[in-house]
Amino acid sequence: MNENLKVSFYLKRERKNEKNSEAVYPVVGKIIIDKSIAQFNSKLKAPERLWGVKSGRATGKSQVATELNREINKLNTLIHSHYGEILKRTGKVSALEVKMLFRVLPQRRKRCLRCLKKSCRNFIRGWELTGQKTVIGNMSILKSIYSALSVKNTRSEIFRFPN
C-alpha cells in the first residue's frame, strides 16, 4: 500500500558560508507520492551537530535526540495513516492531499471545539432562562460530541471529508 509514498525530513539551513555547530535549524518534511511533492514545516527544531543527513533523523542517544526522533516518528506514522485513509476512500492520492489532511485536521478539531463550547454555554443559558427539563437529554448529546472531539485520536469518524 505504501510502496509509492516517501516521507523524508531535513534541516532548513540558512544561506551562510560559515559553519556553526551550535546552530539550531527548523526541521522540514517532504512528502513524495509518485511525481507529486509537498513540503511542510514540522514545527520542530534540531541542532546541526545532532542531525544525520543520510538518515534524516537526529543521531546519538541524548535526550534531545531521542525526543526529536520520537516526534519525527509520530509525524511519519500520522502521514502514513492519512495516506492509507485517502487511498482507501478515493483510490488515488497526491502529496498535497496528504499534506492538507495532515495540517487541516487538527485545526478543524480546534475550531469545532471552540464552536461547540460556545454552543454549550448558550444552550445552558437558554435552559436556565426557560427552565425546561427536556434540554438535559440534548445536553448529554452535546457533551458526548465534545468528548469525542477532544480525544487526541485524529482518525475520528466525525471528520470524514466528502469525495
What type of residue is 72?
I
pTM, 2 dp: 0.64
Task: Measure the CA angle with vertex 75, ends 39 and 84; round to 5°.
Answer: 85
Residue 37 binned pLDDT confidence (cut-offs 50, 70, 90): very high
3-state secondary structure of 73: helix
At residue 149, φ and ψ (nearest 5 deg) are: -75, -35
pLDDT beyond 60 at 93: yes
Between residues 1 and 93, the one the model is more confident about: 93
| pLDDT band at residue 89 under the 50/70/90 scheme | confident
Predicted confidence (pLDDT) per residue in 114-161, tens digit: 777 777 777 666 656 566 555 556 666 666 666 666 655 444 444 333
Other Cβ atoms within 10 Å of 106 Cβ, number? 13
Considering the chain, what percentage of its residues have pLDDT values greater than 90? 21
Quick one: pLDDT at residue 121?
72
Q: Is the pLDDT of residue 163 over 60?
A: no
For residue 85, report the phi and psi dihedrals to the nearest 5 degrees: -65, -45
Q: Are 8 and 79 in contact (CB under 8 A)?
A: no
Q: What cell does 119 get?
A: 454552543
- What are the b/e assignments for 46-62, b being 16+ CB within 10 Å? bbeebbeeeebbbeeee
Q: What is the pLDDT of residue 91?
A: 86
DSSP state of 59: -
Residue 104, pLDDT above cutoff 80: no
Domains of the chain, residue spans: 5-100, 109-153
**Does 51 score more than 70 pLDDT?**
yes
Lowest mean pLDDT among 21-30, 58-67, 108-117, 146-155: 146-155
- C-alpha cell of 104? 487541516
